[in-house]
A and B are shown apart, each in its own frame.
Chain A
Amino acid sequence: MMVIIMAVDTSIFAIVTLVYLVIVLALGYYGYKKTAGSEDYMLAGRKSHPVILALSYGATFISTSAIVGFGGISAQLGMGLVWLTVFCIGVGILIAFIVFGRPTRRRGQELGAFTFPDLFGKCFKSPFMQKICGFIIIVSMPLYTAAVLIGGARFIEATLELPYDVSLLAFAIVVAAYVLFGGLIAVMYTDAFQGAIMFVGMAILLIITYSLLGGVTVANTALDNLSSMVPAALAAGGMTGWASMPEFLSPIWLTMITTMVLGVGIGVLAQPQLAVRFMTVQDDKSIRRAIMVGGPFILMMLGVAFTVGPLTNVYFMEQSGQLALEAAGGNVDSVIPLYINASMPDFFVVIFMLTLLAAAMSTLSSLIHTMGTTIGYDLFSRHTTIHPSMRGIQVGTIVMIIISTIVAYLLPGSIIARATVIFMGLCAASFIPAFLYAIYSKKPWTTAALLSLLSGAISWFLWTALVHVKESSVLGISQALFGVNAVLPMPWQNVDPIIIGLPISAVVLGVLLLVRRCCPPSLSGIKE
């Protein structure tokens, strides 16, 4: 649970939040006025500006948990998470936009696709493929949406001193309002505004932190010198310090690299709410220009979070002789808010709180929109070819908001952080190879892609339920079937399911395509 103790008067933050909400709702109204049909509602008319695309993509990708949650983890485990920044820029921006983005836009425009599952269905000429993709999204995305909802509601509860239930409901209703009426134009414009706030907030955070700690070299050297203070439990897990990497293949190294760096860094490639944005621009040039903004945005979000996080140890050690996690009462999620409140000037406390609210809202709005189009168009629409029904999508959006809010009320706190990883891992293991094949092949083979998608999803699920102990211990399936939390010993229990599911999915696709190429269908027994 996020614990925030406001150092600034609640009424000041309430006024600033109100102004912020007025701007967000005005942008939502602008989206409503600009939406003339289903293509506007689902794809922002396919004519978004590159800067809007980049900021919207980045703000959707970076949620509150990336700043506060992962920032807190970096305060605990050190600067090694900088490799997640490297992956998110290299894979999440450069490869995503160049390798995936351009062909996605072209194929989407050529085939008249409106959504991520629709693109799958039309590339493979298979409505069944569209339904399978839609089904995976509808099963996994409410979990992630609920996690974002809870994070935002906890934040509102703490900063505006509202009851949690009221905060959750208000948060869902406000975001739903502009998504419902303004569609993707409203979502992308509000995302861009929120992304700009996030960029400014994190830039100021970096500058003030290094100023506070005596400059870049002085602060980093002080952090390096804290290595002797690593708690015994973390040292036993392979941690060597806050300015150094954990020991190679140690449990902490495996968790950091496979779950965080690879899991999130690669997982970004096939998230439907991000992939659909490539279809919102009118040409390849817009995608290339968006990279110019996307790269610095991710560097500013993650690079700053994973630099300031570890440096909070230097600050708290100088102030109270404690490590950051000790000062935060052992709660990783409290480290960054506590540091902000303890060290920053009042004006920045307000800016930072607004940054967190913007991060939560931008991610939530995109998820709601994606779920609404999936259920209202991909799964249940009767008009999936030329003119999708906007009313159907709006009804779908309302249904998914209600489901996600109920899931948020029902989910135990312990599964929140896992829900994000579960969503990203399942999407990556299921979709990436088939997605790449779909957008690059002129006549893709549906059966191979379907088997790849299913093998990735099933192997990911089995590893999650039976081996990866962080999830399997929560899900309880392994315990019920075999009487143990994980059926394989260490170090396998720390290897993320994406490391297993994604290669299996890719190998299945590769082998099937190879067999088909080498053997004529009549000999190999493979038929469409």
Chain B
Amino acid sequence: MNYREVHFMFGITDPGIWVGYVLAIGLTIVCVLYGLFSRSQNDGDNNGR
């Protein structure tokens, strides 16, 4: 996906805005993946440091 397609998709001309949206959504996906990945991990750390 190049700049023009992203630009067209959001209908916003200023990269200062759409980069913000991409980052916000991207970070949310990172949060979800991080949590999902953690579901399959066991810490064994529930007794302090």
A interface residues (Cβ-Cβ under 8 A, vs B)? 50, 79-80, 82-83, 85-86, 89-90, 93-94, 106-107, 109-110, 216-221, 223-224, 240-241, 243-245, 282-285, 288-296, 298-299, 303
* Closest B residue to A107 using CB positions: B49
A289 touches B10 (CB 8 A): no
The answer for the CA separation of A504 and B30 in the assembled complex, in Å, is 32
* Closest B residue to A102 using CB positions: B45
**Residue from B9, B36, B43, B45 in contact with A217 in the complex, judged by beta carbons closer than 8 Å:** B9
* Closest B residue to A220 using CB positions: B11
Point out the residues of chain B lying under 8 angstroms from A89, CB to CB.
24, 27-28, 31
Point out the residues of chain A lying under 8 angstroms from B47, CB to CB.
109
User: Which residues in window 13-46 of B have CB below 8 A to A?
Assistant: 13-14, 16-17, 20-21, 23-25, 27-28, 30-32, 34-36, 38-39, 41-43, 45-46
The answer for the CA separation of A216 and B11 in the assembled complex, in Å, is 8
A218 touches B31 (CB 8 A): no
Point out the residues of chain B lying under 8 angstroms from A284, CB to CB.
43, 45-46
Interface size for chain B: under 10, 10 to 19, 20 to 34, or 35 or more residues?
Answer: 20 to 34
**Residue from B11, B14, B43 in contact with A221 in the complex, judged by beta carbons closer than 8 Å:** B11
Point out the residues of chain B lying under 8 angstroms from A303, CB to CB.
21, 24
**Residue from A90, A220, A240, A282 in contact with B10 in the complex, judged by beta carbons closer than 8 Å:** A220
* Closest B residue to A89 using CB positions: B27
A299 touches B8 (CB 8 A): no
The answer for the CA separation of A283 and B38 in the assembled complex, in Å, is 12
The answer for the CA separation of A86 and B25 in the assembled complex, in Å, is 8
A295 touches B31 (CB 8 A): yes
Residue contacts A-B, CB under 8 angstroms, 29 given: A79-B12, A79-B17, A79-B20, A83-B20, A86-B20, A89-B31, A90-B23, A93-B27, A94-B34, A106-B49, A109-B47, A110-B49, A217-B10, A244-B16, A245-B14, A283-B43, A283-B46, A284-B46, A285-B41, A285-B43, A288-B41, A289-B39, A292-B35, A292-B38, A295-B28, A295-B30, A295-B31, A295-B32, A296-B28
* Closest B residue to A298 using CB positions: B28
If the complex has contacts A82-B17, A85-B20, A299-B25, are A288 and B12 also in contact, measured as CB distance less than 8 A? no
The answer for the CA separation of A298 and B49 in the assembled complex, in Å, is 29
The 3 closest A-B pairs by CB, nearest first: A292-B35, A295-B31, A220-B11
Point out the residues of chain B lying under 8 angstroms from A223, CB to CB.
12
If the complex has contacts A79-B17, A110-B48, are A289 and B35 also in contact, measured as CB distance less than 8 A? yes
Point out the residues of chain B lying under 8 angstroms from A244, CB to CB.
12-14, 16-17
B45 touches A283 (CB 8 A): yes
Q: How far is the CB of B12 from chain A (nearest CB, A)?
A: 5
Point out the residues of chain B lying under 8 angstroms from A93, CB to CB.
27, 31
A294 touches B31 (CB 8 A): yes
Q: How far is the CB of A113 from chain B (nearest CB, A)?
A: 12
* Closest A residue to B17 using CB positions: A79
Point out the residues of chain A lying under 8 angstroms from B16, CB to CB.
80, 244-245
Point out the residues of chain A lying under 8 angstroms from B34, CB to CB.
94, 288, 291-292
**Residue from A106, A216, A240, A294 in contact with B45 in the complex, judged by beta carbons closer than 8 Å:** A106
19 other contacts beyond A79-B12, A283-B43, with CB at 8 A cut-off? Answer: A79-B20, A80-B17, A86-B23, A89-B27, A90-B27, A216-B10, A217-B9, A217-B11, A219-B11, A220-B11, A223-B12, A224-B11, A243-B14, A285-B42, A288-B34, A289-B39, A291-B35, A293-B35, A299-B25
